[in-house]
A and B are shown apart, each in its own frame.
Chain A
Amino acid sequence: MNIKLVGGAALGLATMLVLSACGGGSQPAAGGDSTGQAGGPVTLKMVAADYGDNPTADNAGTKFWKSVVDQFQAANPNIKVDVQVISWNDIDKQVATMVQNGQVPDILQTGDYSGFVKDQLLYKTDEVLSPEVSKDMLTKFADFGKVDGTAYGIPFVSSARALFYNKELFEKAGIAEPPKTWDELKAAAEKLKAAGVSQPFGLPLGQEEAQAESFLWMLGNGGGYTDASGKWTVNSPANVEAFQYVKGLVDAGLTTPNPGTKDRKTVWEDFAAGKVGMVNGGPMSIPIFDKGAVSGKYAVAPIAGKTGPLDTTLGVMDWIMAFNKNGHAAEIKKFFDFFYTGDATQKIVDNYKLLPVTNGGIQKLSGDEKLKPFLDALPNASFYPFKDPKWSEVNTTIKQTVGGAVKDDPAKVLGDIQKVAEGS
């Protein structure tokens, strides 16, 4: 009897201990390796976004980073790099959860760095990157890595946009050359429609990347999200006019139907299948198109503006940054220098058709015919106002609602977004 009783109590107690240990177990793990004793092995925790098609694809992020890390560890046996690759859909939310729980990684590679600067979570660039590497970065890009004159974000890769068109469909519709102005674009779309093309112009204004497509149309009319001084101008007359023009295309059935619900991925796949006449795309869409029916039958041209082809385009930069919480500056520096001076950046270009951010990298690519329009566009590219603290909220709103601007009243929809931008 007694034994039973004590046994039961002990079992219960043990279970409780195990359970509570599970609950609190995460804390020491995060703080435990923060000492970083000199000479001893150090583990760098890294979180990176996945540029690959899917987790099992040949170009999966895990495979890419493993090859980089293996090389690095062979040269630096005392430093171990632990890479966690997260898909673009989830990385922001997962990183936010890590930060909220105090489990920040040492290195983070994602789409934005500026939100961490104000809270002093990041190393300055010159603490973790050699001057030789810094110097090789494209100046315009490096400047975007600065907040109040101090650099925190290190440009990782970039991309630019241009107009892809289906040569076969253009020929069938009797269009001699890609459109340069909005009038030409509409005329071309009408010819494509008459030739039986269901989506003359692919227009993804859905959740995935509505902010990009919108921005390209704004640029086409000399507009943009902000003016030169950084003031929000989402509902400027130029932008409203641009959306009125696009609405005209939508109403005439010349675009993807219900563009406000269509993701970039879907529309690009439709282009790859030969169902779309023209679409705005980037170097990263090349591998998708090459896998489809359209392979070898498409060409790239500058994006049409209201009165002539755009002299600028949307540039997107991704960033890599180092968190200062665990104090591994020296080890991070070794890893960054290794990354930028080795052949890793070349691998990114080969795998994902993303553009390099260093002068050296761009020179190496100048012979690539397909990438040339994008490389040419890079130096004069326009960027999202991502350093503005309101951008994330504005961006979320655009992704969800901007499709309404080509369905209902453009001035009202853009005005509502402007209100979010100006809100406290």
Chain B
Amino acid sequence: MKRLRVLEPLAWVGPAVVLIALVVLWPVIEMVRTSFLEVSRFGVVRGGNGTKNYDKLFAETDFWPVMFRSLVWVVAVVGFTVLISLALAQLFNQRFPGRKIARWALIAPWAASVLMTSIIFKWMLDPEVGIINLIRRDLGLIPAMGGADADQLGQAATAFPWLIFVAVFVSVPFTTYALLAGLATIPSDVYEAAKMDGASKFRTYWSITLPLLRPALTVAALINVMNVFNSFPIIWSMTHGQPGYSTATSTIFMFILKGSNIGESAAMSVVNFGMVIILTAIFLKISKWKQEVA
């Protein structure tokens, strides 16, 4: 009986372990394995390929620009998202008439499918009939519909900011709510004490709110980093990474490669996976994950 006793935890933990092994570990192993195989475009495995998939990937002229762009993409989207969310969370933490409605409204971009949101933005930016361009024409910003001026998604210089905008738009609700939850945990007596000591509003925010908000902020930003790095539908539905590869991030690049070379695409996935782990590690290091709030 004693021996069975020892096994009891296993019975409870076992299913979860099996689940993780099946759903998380196994695909990772398969991904790494595939990256060393020669696979025809039609899915026929032709045997081992050594590191050739990786050699080919690193030799692609577009590889390094794509990696750099992915980094810009993550930093810009997460940066703007966090800044805007901090402000919004502060606002929604105040009592004002209609707060309930405003809070509900903020959920909308989150509740709508990302793909739908992206397609709607693509339509709004359509050079012939898009509402954003109609407004720009009426404001006199562009001479007429249909020309190159009205085609903001057609050039990387204007398309990439729009992509970032949409990504921020869909990321803000979750981040704001995570921060709102964080704000709710800050006890009010700390603020009272600060008030007694005559601290300025800015000082209070900087020295009390932000440090106490850090656990929520770290989690929210970290989830955003991973999400945004792997973000696919926004870019794919709005530009396909075009013109050329000039709006493609590494996830888009991986998907395009899948159309011609599955092994190389798997190699790109492995690189992507490594990048997420590295980014996460750097992020945790910077935000001093383990250090308790003083």
Bound-state Cα–Cα, A407 to B153, Å = 15
Q: Say if the beta carbon of B240 comes within 8 Å of chain A.
A: yes
Stretch at the interface among A61-69, A71-79, A137-145, A392-400: A392-400
Bound-state Cα–Cα, A392 to B11, Å = 50
CB distance from B265 to the nearest CB of A (A): 10
Q: Is the CB of A260 within 8 A of B61?
A: no
Residue in contact with B147 in the complex, picked from A12, A22, A121, A198, CB distance below 8 Å: A198
A residues 1-32 with Cβ under 8 Å of B?
2, 5-6, 8-9, 11-13, 15-16, 19-20, 22-23
The proximity string for B residues 255-270 relative to A, scoring 1 for CB distances below 8 Å and 0 otherwise, is 0111111100000000
List the A side residues contacting B41 at CB < 8 Å. Answer: 92, 96, 115, 392-393
Q: Is the CB of A392 within 8 A of B260?
A: yes
Q: Is the CB of A16 within 8 A of B243?
A: no
The proximity string for B residues 115-130 relative to A, scoring 1 for CB distances below 8 Å and 0 otherwise, is 0000000000001110
Q: Say if the beta carbon of B173 comes within 8 Å of chain A.
A: no
CB distance from A258 to the nearest CB of B (A): 3
CB distance from A112 to the nearest CB of B (A): 8
CB distance from B123 to the nearest CB of A (A): 11
Stretch at the interface among A97-105, A183-191, A351-359: A97-105
Bound-state Cα–Cα, A16 to B145, Å = 61
CB distance from A254 to the nearest CB of B (A): 11
Q: Is the CB of B14 within 8 A of A400?
A: no
Task: Take A23-B22, A119-B44, A400-B242 as given contacts and tell me if A262 and B154 are in contact as well, using a CB distance cutoff of 8 Å.
Answer: yes
Q: Is the CB of A257 within 8 A of B154?
A: yes
Residue in contact with B244 in the complex, picked from A15, A96, A403, CB distance below 8 Å: A403
Q: Is the CB of A396 within 8 A of B11?
A: no
Q: Say if the beta carbon of A385 comes within 8 Å of chain B.
A: no
Q: Say if the beta carbon of A207 comes within 8 Å of chain B.
A: yes
Task: Take A9-B4, A258-B243, A261-B239 as given contacts and tell me if A97 and B144 are in contact as well, using a CB distance cutoff of 8 Å.
Answer: no
Bound-state Cα–Cα, A199 to B22, Å = 53
The proximity string for A residues 185-209 relative to B, scoring 1 for CB distances below 8 Å and 0 otherwise, is 0000000000000110000001100
List the A side residues contacting B101 at CB < 8 Å. Answer: none
CB distance from B36 to the nearest CB of A (A): 14
Q: Say if the beta carbon of B228 comes within 8 Å of chain A.
A: no
Q: Say if the beta carbon of A163 comes within 8 Å of chain B.
A: no
Q: Is the CB of B155 within 8 A of A12?
A: no
Q: Which of B43, B240, B241 has the most CB of A within 10 A?
A: B43
List the A side residues contacting B18 at CB < 8 Å. Answer: 15-16, 19-20
Task: Take A206-B240, A393-B261 as given contacts and tell me if A258 and B151 are in contact as well, using a CB distance cutoff of 8 Å.
Answer: yes
Q: Which of A19, A95, A257, A262 has the most CB of B within 10 A?
A: A257
CB distance from A34 to the nearest CB of B (A): 19
Bound-state Cα–Cα, A260 to B245, Å = 11
Q: Say if the beta carbon of B45 comes within 8 Å of chain A.
A: yes
Q: Is the CB of B44 within 8 A of A257?
A: no
CB distance from A37 to the nearest CB of B (A): 29
Q: Is the CB of B8 within 8 A of A258?
A: no
Q: Say if the beta carbon of B207 comes within 8 Å of chain A.
A: no
Q: Is the CB of B243 within 8 A of A121?
A: no
CB distance from A84 to the nearest CB of B (A): 16
Q: Say if the beta carbon of A248 comes within 8 Å of chain B.
A: no
Q: Say if the beta carbon of B19 comes within 8 Å of chain A.
A: yes
Q: Is the CB of A15 within 8 A of B146?
A: no
Q: Is the CB of A198 within 8 A of B155?
A: no
Q: Say if the beta carbon of B7 comes within 8 Å of chain A.
A: yes
Q: Is the CB of A5 within 8 A of B261?
A: no
Q: Say if the beta carbon of B77 comes within 8 Å of chain A.
A: no
Task: Take A16-B15, A96-B41, A253-B148 as given contacts and tell me if A396 and B260 are in contact as well, using a CB distance cutoff of 8 Å.
Answer: yes
Bound-state Cα–Cα, A334 to B204, Å = 81
Q: Is the CB of B42 within 8 A of A95?
A: yes
List the A side residues contacting B259 at CB < 8 Å. Answer: 92-93, 392, 396
List the A side residues contacting B155 at CB < 8 Å. Answer: 258
Q: Is the CB of B242 within 8 A of A206?
A: yes
24 contacts between A and B (CB under 8 A): A9-B7, A9-B8, A11-B11, A13-B11, A13-B14, A15-B15, A23-B22, A92-B41, A93-B258, A95-B42, A95-B43, A96-B39, A100-B43, A100-B44, A100-B262, A115-B40, A119-B40, A198-B146, A260-B243, A261-B239, A261-B240, A395-B260, A400-B240, A403-B244
Residues of B near any A CB (own CB < 8 A): 1, 4-5, 7-8, 10-12, 14-15, 18-19, 22, 26, 39-46, 61, 127-129, 144-148, 150-151, 153-155, 159, 239-245, 256-262
Besides A8-B11, A19-B18, 20 other CB < 8 A contacts?
A15-B14, A19-B15, A96-B41, A99-B42, A100-B262, A115-B41, A119-B40, A198-B144, A199-B146, A207-B240, A207-B242, A253-B148, A257-B127, A258-B151, A258-B243, A261-B154, A392-B260, A400-B240, A401-B244, A404-B244
Q: Which 9 A-B pairs have the closest CB atoms?
A: A198-B146, A258-B154, A99-B43, A12-B11, A96-B43, A115-B42, A257-B148, A100-B43, A396-B260
